[in-house]
Structure 1
Amino acid sequence: MPELLAVCRVFALLPDAGTVGVTAIDKRPVDGRVKARPYGLYADVQADRANHGGLDQAVYAYSQEDAEVWGAELGYEITPGLFGENLRTRGLEVSRAVVGERWRVGTALLEVTQPRTPCQTFARRLDSPPRWVRRFTQANRTGAYLRVVENGDLGAGDVVEVVHRPTHGVTLTDWFGAFNRLDGAAVLADVAKALVVAHDDGELRLSDEMRERAQQVLDR
């Protein structure tokens, strides 16, 4: 069964060269159980809520499997929290989750909303590997942002149970690959249409960002 390997919260706010001036990307594992609420994990911080937070990006998950790929490429271990994630999972294809998929983790219910878009703050966190933003984009191993549908608590060792998977079938990888025109990606208009139709039919609720971008594609 897929499981939660670690729960991570902000360790310290770090100075950053970005417009906000600080970043909460320094996440590290914590012991015990942690409450999940609409704006994320208890005692976590969103320094740039406009771009990396809010209700639709309350929690960020990354898989151990994807972390190990990056570890081999970068030459060091991608420890839980190093990518700024709140949840490190094992046995779950996080980057290939269907948009709107729901996970039961502990007593919390989480919903997959959108992929992570890499930024220079992320690159600086890793001491700026060459062309990091481009490399992360092209790899299409984005991890998943989630909203908290039902408050609850979770902790390392919990099973991650996929309790609902929308029938539209569009994954985070599908959308991110198409939107960024990666090699072998699906047709962007087809992916955007499937998401908007599912949203309009009530099958899922797209994040504001995803809804706006998908609609812009269809309006071209």
Structure 2
Amino acid sequence: MKLLSLNLGRREAVEYTDQPEGVTGIDKRPVEGPVRVTAPGAKGTGASGLAGDAVCDTRHHGGDDQAVYAYAREDLDAWERTLGRPLPSGVFGENLTTEGVDITGAKIGERWRVGPDLVLEVTSGRIPCRTFQGHLGERGWVKRFTQEGVPGAYLRVIEPGEIRAGDAIEVIHRPDHEVTVAFQFRAVTTERPLLPRLLVAADALHAETVRQARAYVTKHGL
């Protein structure tokens, strides 16, 4: 398992985003590194966990629970075959393009060591948005991406460190519960009755998903 590509984005003005300033950092491009990765702080600060990486839409991106976004090269390859077009590493807006890592099957709370020092913890899957669809230029992309259920993973920083392309990735902790990235993603998108079952992973789960799950329990008297 390794970090195949390390990707950073810059602020860019585009027509397809609904972000108030009309800019996005979704177009990530590979860099060799090293890049310092730290906890960026509360959501809304405009910060990515990776030094030099732009986060523009602070309503939906950035902050500790979404410090880093990872997507598997194997899943990009599958999308290449489906869409019939090349998809370079970083094109989904991912900071880490991995090789040999089962991201869809990763557990919420699973921890990875990347390189010698950095430790990351899986918090949730990625919810697609209008900017993602506009960036790819694929009609109906939000619905298609959601139905496929291969969202990649957001991660928080547990121990900061420097990483570079080619670094090894090691799973150093895997929780004993059922809540994978795929399970969490289905619960917040297409199968909302699953929401209460996410709470077994509440300590590691993205804070917004915890709120959704608890609100569902309260509303339905569970």
Q: 1:51 matched to which residue of 2? A: 60
CA distance in 1 between partners of 2:67 and 2:147 (Å): 25
Q: How does 1:110-149 map to 2 (within 5 A)?
A: 110-127=120-137, 129-149=138-158
Q: Equivalent residue of 1:96, what SS? A: coil
Does the Cα contact within 8 Å between 1:14 and 1:26 map onto a contact in 2?
no
1:31 deviates by 1.5
Distance in 2 separating the partners of 1:78 and 1:172: 22
Q: Is the 8 A contact 2:179 2:201 kept in 1?
A: no
Q: Secondary structure at the match of 1:146?
A: strand
Between the aligned residues of both structures, percent identity stands at: 44
Inter-partner Cα distance in structure 2 for 1:206 and 1:72? 32
Residue aligning to 1:18: 18
- Structure 2 match to 1:28: 29
Structure 2, unmatched stretches of 5+, are 41-48
State the distance in 1 between where 2:52 and 2:160 align.
15
| TM-score where L is the length of structure 1 | 0.89
Moved over 4 A (4+): none
- Is 2:92 the counterpart of 1:83? yes
Q: Which residue of 1 aligns with 2:44?
A: none
Q: Which of 67, 74, 78 matches 2:76?
A: 67
Q: 1:137 to 1:198 in 2, by over 3 A?
A: closer
C-alpha displacement at 1:77, in angstroms? 1.6
- Match of 1:35, SS? strand
User: Structure 1 counterpart of 2:18, which letter?
Assistant: G
Please, what TM-score do these two structures have when normalized by structure 2?
0.88
SS of residue in 2 equivalent to 1:95: coil
- The Cα shift of 1:12 comes to 4.2
1:48 to partner: Cα distance: 1.2
Cα deviation, 1:49-103, whole Å, max 9, x if unaligned, reads 2201111101100001110111111111211111100000011111221111110
Any idea what the Cα deviations from partners look like across 1:147-177, whole Å, max 9, x if unmatched? 1111101111111101111111210101212
Q: Does the 8 A contact of 1:36 with 1:148 survive in 2?
A: yes
Query: Number of paired residues?
Result: 208
Alpha-carbon distance in structure 2 between the residues aligned to 1:195 and 1:153: 32
